[in-house]
Amino acid sequence: MFRFGQEVSESSIPKKNLGLMFDALEELADLTLALQKADISLHVAHRMISSQIEVFVARKDNGKLLCRGMQVS
């Protein structure tokens, strides 16, 4: 596990990748909170999940443009 400090600056993981991973985790956290609402319909939940999957797929497909070190196989 990385602590933001000396370990991150010395790691082999590019800082840009850590930023991308952090953004993805924030987006998943927001999605999780939205899905936990009692008044959300199944249709809306499905649409929200599908939209988030599309965002992640687009990032994976454009990964070479974003950052070479974060390629998903």
56 pLDDT band (50/70/90 cuts)?
Answer: confident
Look over the chain and give the mean of its residue pLDDT values, rounded to a whole number: 75
| pTM score of the predicted model | 0.57
CB 52 within 8 A of CB 46: no
Residue 49 confidence (pLDDT): 92
φ, ψ at 22 (rounded to 5°): -65, -45
The Cα 8–Cα 51 span in angstroms is 31
Q: What is the mean pLDDT of residues 20-37?
A: 89
Q: What is the 3-state secondary structure (H, E, C) of 22-58?
A: HHHHHHHHHHHHHHCCCCCCHHHHHHHHHHHHHHHHH
16 pLDDT band (50/70/90 cuts)?
Answer: confident
67 pLDDT band (50/70/90 cuts)?
Answer: very low
